[in-house]
Amino acid sequence: MPTKRDSLEWLLYSSLAALGFILVFIATDTFGPGVSPDSIGYIAAARSLAEGRGYLNYDGSPFTLWPPLFPTILAVGASFGIDLLQFARFFNALIFGLTIFIIGQLSSRLFDSHLLRAVATGSALLSFPLLKMSVMVWTEPLFILLVLVFLAQLARIQASQSLSFGPVAALAGVVACACFKQLVETRRCIIPADGFYEWRKEGKRKVPMWAHLKSKQPFTLAGL
């Protein structure tokens, strides 16, 4: 059962997270979020995806040199008629706040001292490199948050002494989606196979199921 001190710490982390959100939102209020050549690529891909044309750069070439998750999220906002830059501004402000909160949660697991926990969380709020990334239309803030969530999940599993592969694998997949690049363009491959395994749950057991073509002929799978 959470103690009063635990509740106060949660309130502190939440307050610092809210302050981080407000800080980024105010910093981008007058001139909007910062834009770089990478940002133009993200915006173009998000606009193209929202219009149903897939992942395309501003010149119509395939969007393969940057991570796909960030423009995908921006495209969701654009599909509701929200201005891409304004949506990116709000989204990265939210991500900055959530990052501060997760750092607070991690610090509570790493440090016994309540003072060290507060200092670690406050340092994240005052981190100029993290703030600089958060006021830009960049994917780095999202990637940092996903990595921190992944580490928090691992810490939770370690503390409980029970391996839960599903959530870890799902988080690892999301982190990979946030960071991989160039593979689609330069390292594509075809994998020959005559089948693959899927797992079916029967009670508390998982039974391997061999999936294959009815003709049992070999086929190919796309790979990176």
Q: What DSSP string runs through 140-185?
A: HHHHHHHHHHHHHHHHHHHHHT---HHHHHHHHHHHHHHH--SHHH
Same domain, 32 and 88: yes
Same domain, 97 and 194: no
Same domain, 89 and 198: no
Same domain, 124 and 196: no
Same domain, 182 and 215: no
Instruction: Read off the tokens for 24.
Output: 């980024």
Same domain, 143 and 195: no
pTM of the model: 0.74
Q: In terms of residue numbers, what domain contains 211?
A: 189-223
Same domain, 67 and 155: yes
User: In the chain, how many domains are there?
Assistant: 2
Bridge partners (DSSP) listed for residue 221: 191
Same domain, 201 and 146: no
Same domain, 177 and 214: no
Q: What is the pLDDT of residues 147-168, one digit of tens each?
A: 888 777 777 766 665 555 666 6
Phi, psi of 195 (to 5 degrees): 165, 175
Same domain, 208 and 155: no
Same domain, 12 and 114: yes
Q: In a structure prediction context, what are the per-residue pLDDT tens digits for the chain, which is 224 residues long?
A: 567 677 888 888 999 999 999 999 999 999 999 999 999 999 999 999 999 998 899 888 888 878 888 999 999 998 888 999 999 999 999 999 999 999 998 888 888 888 888 898 999 999 999 999 999 999 999 988 988 887 777 777 666 655 556 666 666 666 666 666 545 545 566 778 888 777 777 777 778 888 888 888 887 776 65
Same domain, 101 and 204: no
Per-residue model confidence (pLDDT) at position 201: 75
